A and B are shown apart, each in its own frame.
Chain A
């Protein structure tokens, strides 16, 4: 079975499960809609200026991150709980490719967030639906999905390697939203938070989407940074996963327990 076929099959299975899970709607539609509405209402009454498509782009990445954090980050832990992890690890298909497909599928759910949050600013706040650079926007969408999805592989490997880290999964949503500047520009955040933000693919993903939508320039380089960081985290996740698998095989604890 070729690598692309394994990745595609894993993504297809995950997508089927995600399409049937109502909780996905909460993370990828409901939350982005509410946050887009809150920020747009605040901008309308505040001194900063009217909402733009940029708020919808920030909310899109928020939904993408929530989806990756909860559904990709907890993937191996979930398989372990369902006692299917042994079968997945024992299968001839590489575990890393299965995780890659699964994680990309969860990031793809960010397209729900994109449609929902753009609908809020367009129909709720009268923002014209005009994408200044459609080509760059399409690339930025793909880069955001790829970068955030690849980051999910590292998360999943980390949560399965260090079981205690799993308890932090629930609290990682807001910190990454803050540090990646999805609703507030990084420049307004404290310097150490900005540095963390630069290391996160969602930061560059939302910047690429915003720049492509507004035509501010810089979308291509932000897309490249997002995808590049994602690849780096994917490699790191692969190494962690290999170590976790080796350790489990040596100790004859394939469920990694």
Chain B
């Protein structure tokens, strides 16, 4: 019960604090409007190139919609906590490290999921991509798994942000690379092999493929391995984040710089 409280309450407070530091008025244009315009941009590019129908881009970019919240949220939350001098107090508390930092990740996974759902619903209504209504509940599974995996990578980047100043740049780099390699805009088989290889170890790639197959009428069971792979990739990044955090904390305690500034 105590662990759940640390995860839920700690995560909520951290999320609330981030939007106190950042301007809440940035939320709507950044999180809700930009992903919809991104869908429109790629739908028109797809129509121009004559590659795939609108549904391909709507579904793919809806999954991709969780990237901004998932990648930048945990990283910014942890960096801002350190900048405000609150991280030292958090690390001095007796609460377990894993619940603390998983709590930092979950609000952004939920945020990313909501952005994905909004993008899918709004873009589908706007463009009418012929997405049958009975497919929508099935699409929730890849959206949930992809949002979790993306937030896992965001948490790993957040851990790196405690020891490196270049992480915001790295987050931008990863975000741009994901746009290219995750299969939302260029189908994975059409990518050159180095890009396919990069996509296979990044979040969203398997989630996008699962969502596109489900939208085409496949059953949830037939994309189970894609969902499991996506989940595994997310879990891998969470594990990496926890290991990195443990190392950073040890280094900070040894050097007597618990606030990690």
List chain A positions with a Cβ less than 8 A from chain B: 22-23, 25-26, 30-31, 34, 37-39, 41-48, 164, 167-171, 173-175, 177-178, 183-185, 188-189
Contacts and interface: CB of A to CB of B under 8 A. Distances in A.
B99 interface: no
Contacts, number: 94
Contacts of A30: 172-173, 176
Given A170-B29, A170-B34, A174-B40, A38 B45 contact: yes
B50 A46 contact: yes
Given A34-B179, A170-B30, 9 more contacts: A34-B177, A34-B180, A38-B185, A41-B190, A167-B26, A168-B29, A171-B37, A173-B34, A183-B48
Interface string B160-180: 000000101100110011011
Contact residues on B (Cβ < 8 Å of other chain), bracket: 35 or more
Nearest to A33: B176
B51 to A, nearest CB: 4
23 contacts: A26-B172, A34-B176, A34-B180, A39-B45, A41-B190, A42-B51, A42-B186, A43-B49, A44-B190, A45-B49, A45-B51, A45-B187, A46-B50, A47-B49, A47-B50, A164-B25, A167-B23, A167-B25, A174-B38, A178-B44, A184-B44, A184-B47, A188-B44
B125 interface: no
B17 to A, nearest CB: 20
B228 interface: no
B191 interface: yes
A94 to B, nearest CB: 31
A223 to B, nearest CB: 24
A42 B191 CA distance: 10
A37 B180 contact: yes
A39 B41 CA distance: 11
B236 interface: no
Contacts of B44: 178, 183-184, 188-189
Contacts of A164: 25
A38 B166 CA distance: 26
- Tell me which of B28, B34, B45, B191 has the highest count of chain A C-beta atoms within 10 A of its own C-beta: B45
A30 B48 CA distance: 23
A42 B45 CA distance: 8
A174 B185 contact: no
A38 B180 CA distance: 6
Contact of B30 (A171, A175, A178): A171
Contacts of A26: 169, 172-173, 176
The 5 closest A-B pairs by CB, nearest first: A174-B37, A47-B50, A46-B49, A171-B29, A42-B49
A177 B44 CA distance: 11
B186 A41 contact: yes
A89 to B, nearest CB: 24
A38 B51 contact: no
Interface in B1-52: 23, 25-26, 28-30, 33-34, 37-38, 40-42, 44-51
A198 to B, nearest CB: 17
A189 B44 CA distance: 8
